Structure 1
């Protein structure tokens, strides 16, 4: 969305291709219902560090009454919940205001190349049949790096040993008594331990995320973990494993929802929504001109070609649990720069990647895959595509000083001034 808005506002004819009938990616289709990565803990002071197109979207969600105030996480940062229905309506409005053309219910199926380094068209399957969408610039924001992979760009998966971040299926409960539930997220971990010790439940992972939505009677639940028969993370690019993951996720949800009805205030709760699809955290990571690393995140690295910042910690969804690793807080500034080179893939002249499929190590991707950082990469990619066309340049040849000036004029924070 951020890429499309940035390109369209620059005056470019822009088409956003979406497999579903609504926008939002994992935020709506996978029911995340929670913006992570919009803020950073800067020397102990939690600040909003992602602006630009993201602000335009959040303001629209807020006007529809669908945006929560930021809530504390671990005493170190904040996240911000939203209503998925409001998000979908706000996203439509944002695209219309920017002049973005939309093609819904279109599933990418392949590419046509002009040359080994240049894409000519994206092939899509639609209800009207197969189409070829011809363009001069392409931005792969598929999450899975589909377009880049079809174009022959090299990529990596997992930690080098085949281990990817585990996916989850999100769901929401209604019918909660907010007065009795209180800060239920503080007592639920202890109740889980007790239930397991009594051999009444076996949870797929130890760390629960159970939080209220805008209305206190509705809560979101993130407590599933989806493994294949070998115990490894389900692969979101494997059709058979993705099918198995959908079924397993709903089975785990039924168990978790039954347990939660034992929590004070949740006795009359019921499942009001299961996300339309499994929430995928990691599949392909496209190899770019620079690969963001774990030390870049934890050491709050700076880059001359910064396009924005990441203030989210490493969030490693490993077998049976979630591990968070943080920069030094409050000693550090709490964010790392995101270099332009991480959205420029190797061996492709008119292609950019934005989102969780950008050029990162397995560990760094666990931080920079979250929504706020995806907004940063998308806005930069859309803006860079306009500059490339204007100057007759390849993606790698875009003048980053000009790109940075354009991004800052759009309200983006690049982290060059704490």
Structure 2
């Protein structure tokens, strides 16, 4: 028996619409709902948290100020210890710290309550569950597997978005819309100007696809490193051995001599979009997972630059890069099994559900955060949160070392409210990695903690604007700051 399906048209209205349920989006939705708004959260995947969860990015950088290493040896020592460091000032709290506390309570994050490490470790799989619980408790309505296909405009004012499938067409009307898509899709569709990639050539930083390798005998790996300390750096090896003995988080760096050997034998895979790699400039990182109250040293999680010179907003280019990265993950697992001690009986356990895109569109807002602002530790009168992360800019060619530049001044800078308001567009804010920042400054504010800070600020501002029946640019920013402070946001 056959039947035909009529396409249904309907309309939904909310105070606040958040498009994108990733790292900044879920926080924006929670903040808006807790401040009294009716909220709809749209997410194109089947889980919330984005790269924070399904992307397997297993740490939040930097809820504290982070120092910059002077050289590669110091870099390895410092980054190995960041995951267990409570040094320097904590500048990110509020919903982010609450989330970490909840993860700590169920043995899915390492550390201690009400304090975060410089690189806060957590279990990304359990994060999906904790995030959806926090969103539900706030009263947010969530639509998964949903992607906006058009925007609803009246002049320069965004009134909502259209969601369309073969089954139905839904118009979602909202007083305020927050674009947390990462790529700034809604803002771009609404006519907002944007910058893309490096000002030199328009190319973006390379992308990553986290992957996990199981069946690891990490004690054997560390024993090899101890026996070859001159190759790895004696202080780095000493630091890592000490952390492992204390059952603390550790970070391993590339086995460069093994890479040279594999390259000579044709066994080392080359990332998508480049022709070769330089072992001396490789700086990818490998970590064990903290799960069910302890570190699982038999499984390691790998984060490396895997795809270069493609446009993440182009579905064809993104597809090619994603397929290439999964292929590379399989080949990297084979490299480790064949060349790295302790991995002889290892296997590729799984790859992330979503690709880690470092940058694409940067929406031009009323103010663009600059490299100079970050280096100076700039304080803004309309600051909605502090951040102290290194400017982390990955080389676009794969030939140079990772650039890590420290925040100056107080060790933190303000993210100004103006950097969240797309120039010339009403009723719209952006949060996450697509906020208004130049190429270098975005290397800092693109990361997890900053995305959550901007998410909370936009959600709170949206709720206040709807309640007060004001345009976003008419909000009393000092009043917004007071609300954020009352909710333990550090201003």
Change in 2 beyond 3 A, CA 1:397/1:272: same
- Secondary structure of the equivalent of 1:136? strand
Q: Do the aligned residues in 1 keep the contact of 2:362 with 2:435 (CA within 8 Å)?
A: yes
- Secondary structure of the equivalent of 1:48? coil
- Deviations along 1:159-185, one digit per CA (max 9) or x if unpaired, are 232111111111111111232233471
Q: For 1:103-114, what aligned pairs fall within 5 Å after superposition?
A: 103-113=143-153
Tell me the distance in 1 between the aligned counterparts of 2:45 and 2:257.
Answer: 39
2:219 is equivalent to residue 179 of structure 1: yes
Aligned equivalent of 1:238, options 314, 335, 348: 314
Q: Do the aligned residues in 2 keep the contact of 1:40 with 1:310 (CA within 8 Å)?
A: yes
Q: For 1:252-331, what aligned pairs fall within 5 Å after superposition?
A: 252-261=328-337, 262-318=339-395, 319-320=397-398, 321-327=400-406
Change in 2 beyond 3 A, CA 1:47/1:267: farther
Q: For 1:16-415, what aligned pairs fall within 5 Å after superposition?
A: 16-41=41-66, 45-69=87-111, 78-113=118-153, 115-125=154-164, 128-160=167-199, 161-182=201-222, 183=240, 185-186=252-253, 188-196=255-263, 199-204=266-271, 206-214=282-290, 215-227=296-308, 232=309, 234-261=310-337, 262-318=339-395, 319-320=397-398, 321-327=400-406, 332-414=409-491
Q: Do the aligned residues in 2 keep the contact of 1:65 with 1:86 (CA within 8 Å)?
A: no
Tell me the distance in 2 between the aligned counterparts of 1:380 and 1:167.
Answer: 27
Q: Greater shift after overlay, 177-186 or 260-269?
A: 177-186
Tell me the distance in 2 between the aligned counterparts of 1:302 and 1:280.
Answer: 29
Aligned-pair distance for 1:350?
0.7
Aligned-pair distance for 1:193?
3.8
Partner of residue 5, structure 1? 30
Partner of residue 230, structure 2? none
- Secondary structure of the equivalent of 2:31? helix
- Bigger-Rg structure (1/2): 2
Aligned-pair distance for 1:128?
4.8
Tell me the distance in 1 between the aligned counterparts of 2:391 and 2:432.
Answer: 16
Aligned-pair distance for 1:126?
5.2
- Secondary structure of the equivalent of 2:134? helix
Q: Do the aligned residues in 2 keep the contact of 1:23 with 1:91 (CA within 8 Å)?
A: yes
Q: Aligned residue pairs: how many?
A: 400
Tell me the distance in 2 between the aligned counterparts of 1:302 and 1:237.
Answer: 33
Aligned-pair distance for 1:322?
4.9
Aligned-pair distance for 1:197?
5.1
